[in-house]
Amino acid sequence: MGNRIVVVGSSNTDMIVKLPHLPKPGETVSGGAFSTAAGGKGANQAVAAARAGAEVSLVARVGEDSFGEQAIAGFVGDGIDVRHVMKDPATPSGVALIFVDNKGENCIAVAPGANAGLTPHDVEAAQELITRADVVVMQLETPIETVERVATLASEHGVRVILNPAPAQPLSDEILGNVSILTPNESEAELLTGVQVADDAGAEEAARALVARGVGTVILTLGSRGAYVFESDSGELVPGFEVQAVDTTAAGDVFNGSLAVGLSEGLPLGKAVRFANAAAALSVTRLGAQPSAPTRSEIEAFLG
């Protein structure tokens, strides 16, 4: 197998404030240091996959502004193919405003900007890349009809599709039926199935419900506990790693990007998930979205 990965999705600039605690409505909390970092779930996943050792192409939209220029320069620096990162002259780049507390928990507000203009037409323009990929990775920060078109196109050509259903929203059976691997967290799984994921029994019930709707494999991410992997009518927990969390902002994105790398290299599913768990664990020990994505050598050293 090769390791060609195509990520279709969002690119944002993250503006981050570290605070003693997350503000309640109407509350002003001072004290935090301010920083900016490259983010957006699609871009985060692309960077994570590139640093973990894959040949990565990104299909995305940014504004024709300084945020967009900085984003593209960052992708190029990580060796990502940016031929299909379009500059939108009419709409600003996406931004995310992120508060992070001293336990590493966060709350995020996103203005999608140019991400909302990523259309099925852009997908058609990148058709050759998508149909020749080993793995295609997507999230839900771009229009749902674009996600649907990518899933259909990849599925028709036998390309494995990883869909990270975040931010959470309902999904049609048509999309789910074209997804090889769905990677929800607990709240996303609950929104999609109505099943509360409080323990392994809940995880299995939610996973079964998703498989019944057409998904090939479900990997339920459970934070520091690891990931619950359900395929072929049975599930198992692949344990996570205990680390001191500083910022959990892009942990799920690093997991998905690294999972795609493991699978594109032919690792068995359980080993690919362990590889992704290790990358995600490393990422939460660092501040920022893309800056937190580890390199291949760091992941391998961590795994020993």
One-letter amino acid for residue 267 of the chain: L
Neighbours of 117 (CB within 10 A): 17
8 Å CB contact between 227 and 219? yes
Region of residue 108 (phi > 0: left; psi between -120 and 50: alpha; otherwise: beta): beta
3-state secondary structure of 130: helix
Residue ranges of alpha helices (H) inside 265-303 are 269-283, 296-303
What is the three-class DSSP state of 228?
A: strand
Decide the pairing of beta strands 12-18 and 34-39: antiparallel
Residue 156 — left, alpha, or beta (φ > 0 → left; ψ -120 to 50 → alpha)?
alpha
Query: Residue 253 catalytic?
Result: yes
| C-alpha to C-alpha distance for 274 and 79, rounded to whole angstroms | 25
Hey, which residues are catalytic here? 253
